[in-house]
């Protein structure tokens, strides 16, 4: 895969790998067990520039390309998918959304603290009755002249409590359907903003996922992103890039599980030899290795297309669809190779198997990716 990565990108990958091994690995099992947010680790990620990788240095970012960002997420995810999703949402949904579509004043006020990691962002699209069907927004942003009054509930919000800057998608003109939807920047300190209880999740338990409740929250009009009614397109365009980040996360989980399983297979003995010498295990390793290489090509291709200014709706959906399947399949097989040890926490692969599942659900389920892909390949 070296032919796709520059010397500078290799150094970024190495820096992320070193950080993950030194700072994320210690305590990763306990954070998962206790649902503990990696406060100190995220602070260090900010200091290293990992929270605003693609943001212009004029706004405190690292000014790097999407492929560099993907390499960072991939390396973090090999060890701790909870930390990587915190970074992924901040980078590719919140920072990218504000930098690409926000006003200069919004960038000055909100992008800088997000890009430097001083503040964390959240992206609030899903609702109790609007997950995949994202146009059916029930959260209302009523136009009151110089401000909006926001009412409603958002569900399954990553960084739900740890964030302090929220991009909230809400309906202003229900009669216009998706063309009436707006995207608003909402501050946590706003009166009427309430964070619901933490979700007790199957995986990525170190990240905090909450529902959010808005009760007559006053949002100044200057906090609307883009033109009146641009909110749904804003969400869709932003999610296309977000899917590259989740695809990279899935790729990293797959690689992490595969590397552990390969090492274990070369050490563990059964029937008088290392289990890697048994064809039953070898064939599993072959499938894992081959599928990971294929997933990596799709993920890097989507990142390259974004960097080259090409349309990446199709490539990002394909990368997420395939990499998340490879993550799930690889993690299940890794547990199988570990046998009984795979079922206990200290060997890490059971956590990776639980973490892998969410990559097939958030930022669009696999079924939604297939819908997006089918539309793209069939359109004239
Ligand atoms: N880029 C730009 N525009 C897009 C677009 C894209 N990727 N996808 C759709 N649009 C545009 C369409 O072109 C259309 O505009 P025009 O009428 O001007 O052509 C408009 O948006 C409406 O699109 P559709 O008619 O396709 O809308 P739809 O109701 O059929 O829905 C969907 C399309 C693909 C199913 C969409 O609803 C979707 O992506 N759903 C999944 C939502 C999702 O990913 N949720 C995840 C929550 S966020 C999250 O998980 C973050 C986290 O915390 C980790």
Q: How many angstroms separate the CA atoms of 180 and 174, rounded? A: 6
Q: How far is the CA of 68 from the centre of ligand 1 (A)?
A: 26
For the Cβ of 232 lying below 6 angstroms from any atom of ligand 1, the answer is: yes
Q: How many angstroms is it from 134 CA to the middle of ligand 1?
A: 7
Residue nearest to atom 15 of ligand 1 (CA): 233
Q: Give yes or no for residue 87 CB within 6 A of ligand 1.
A: no
Residue whose CA is at the smallest distance from ligand 1 atom 53: 158
The Å distance, Cα 356 to ligand 1 centre, comes to 23
Q: Reduced to 3 states, what is the DSSP secondary structure of residue 375?
A: helix
- Spatial distance between the Cα atoms of 65 and 241, rounded to a whole number of angstroms: 12
For the question of residue 363 being annotated catalytic, the response is yes
Distance 205 CA to ligand 1 centre (A): 27
pLDDT digits (tens, 9 = 90+) for 104-139: 999 999 999 999 999 999 999 999 999 899 999 999
Q: Which amino acid residue places its CA nearest to atom 2 of ligand 1?
A: 237
123 CB near ligand 1 (under 6 Å): yes
pLDDT tens-digit series, residues 33-78 = 999 999 999 999 999 999 999 999 999 999 999 999 999 999 999 9
User: Does pLDDT of 380 surpass 70?
Assistant: no
Q: Which residue has a Cα nearest atom 43 of ligand 1?
A: 364
Q: What is the pLDDT of residue 39?
A: 98
Beta bridge partners of 269: 274
Q: Say if residues 199 and 247 touch (Cβ distance below 8 Å).
A: no
- Give residue 366 CA to ligand 1 midpoint distance, Å: 14
Kindly state if the Cβ of 302 falls inside 6 Å of ligand 1.
no
Q: What is the spatial distance between Cα 332 and Cα 342, in angstroms, rounded to a whole number? A: 9
Best probe residue, ligand 1, of 89, 134, 370, 374 (max atoms within 8 Å of C-beta): 134
Q: What pLDDT, on a 0 to 100 scale, did the predictor assign at position 183?
A: 98
- pLDDT for 190-223, tens place per residue? 999 999 999 999 999 999 999 999 999 999 999 9
The number of the ligand 1 atom at minimal distance from the alpha carbon of 209 is 53
Q: What is the mean pLDDT of residues 346-352?
A: 98
- The answer on pLDDT for 3 being more than 90 is no
Is any atom of ligand 1 closer than 6 Å to the C-beta of 166?
no
Closest CA to 71 of 134, 14, 116, 149: 14
Alpha carbons 225 and 97: distance in angstroms, whole number: 9
Pocket lining: 91 vs ligand 1, CB cutoff 6 Å? no
Answer yes or no: is the C-beta of 313 below 6 A from any ligand 1 atom. Answer: yes
Are the beta carbons of 9 and 71 closer than 8 angstroms?
yes
Tell me the average pLDDT of the chain.
97
Q: How many CA atoms lie within 13 A of 264 on its CB side?
A: 21
Q: SS3 helix, strand, coil % of the chain, rounded to 5?
A: 60, 15, 25
> pTM above the 0.95 mark?
yes
Give the sign of the dihedral formed by CA 8, CA 14, CA 20, CA 26: negative
User: Of 222, 363, 367, 376, which one is the catalytic site residue?
Assistant: 363
Give the tens place of pLDDT for each residue, 250-303.
999 999 999 999 999 999 999 999 999 999 999 999 999 999 999 999 999 999
């Amino acid at each position: 895969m070296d032919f796709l990565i520059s010397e500078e990108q290799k150094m970024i990958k190495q820096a992320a790998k070193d950080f993950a091994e030194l700072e994320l690995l210690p305590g990763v099992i306990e954070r998962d067990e206790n649902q503990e947010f990696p406060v100190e680790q995220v602070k260090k990620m900010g200091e290293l520039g990992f929270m605003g990788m693609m943001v212009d240095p004029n706004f405190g970012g690292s000014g790097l390309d999407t492929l560099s960002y993907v390499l960072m997420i991939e390396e973090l995810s090999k060890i701790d998918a909870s930390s990587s999703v915190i970074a992924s949402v901040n980078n590719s949904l919140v920072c990218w959304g504000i930098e690409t579509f926000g006003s200069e004043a919004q960038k000055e006020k909100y992008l800088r603290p997000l890009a430097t990691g001083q503040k964390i962002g959240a992206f609030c699209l899903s609702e109790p009755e609007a997950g995949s069907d994202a146009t059916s927004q029930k959260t209302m942003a009523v136009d009151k002249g110089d401000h909006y009054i926001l009412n409603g509930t958002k569900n399954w919000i990553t960084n739900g409590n740890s964030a302090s800057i929220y991009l909230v998608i809400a309906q202003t003109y229900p009669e216009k359907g998706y063309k009436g939807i707006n995207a608003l920047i909402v501050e946590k300190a706003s009166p009427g903003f309430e964070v619901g209880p933490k979700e007790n999740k199957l995986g990525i338990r170190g990240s905090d996922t909450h529902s959010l409740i808005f009760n007559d929250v006053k949002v100044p009009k200057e906090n609307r992103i883009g033109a009146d009614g641009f909110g749904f397109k804003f969400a869709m365009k932003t999610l296309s890039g977000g899917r590259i980040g989740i695809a990279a996360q899935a790729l990293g989980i797959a690689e992490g599980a595969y590397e552990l399983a390969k090492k274990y297979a070369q050490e563990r003995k059964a029937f008088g030899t290392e289990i890697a010498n048994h064809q039953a295990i070898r064939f599993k390793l072959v499938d894992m290795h081959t599928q990971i290489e294929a997933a990596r090509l799709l993920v890097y291709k989507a990142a390259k297309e974004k960097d080259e200014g090409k349309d990446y709706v199709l490539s990002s959906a394909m990368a997420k669809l395939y990499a998340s399947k490879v993550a799930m399949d690889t993690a299940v097989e890794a547990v199988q190779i570990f046998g009984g040890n795979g079922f206990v926490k200290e060997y890490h692969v059971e956590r990776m198997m639980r973490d892998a599942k969410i990559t097939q659900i958030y930022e669009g389920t696999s079924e939604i990716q297939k819908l997006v892909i089918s539309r793209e390949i069939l359109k004239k």
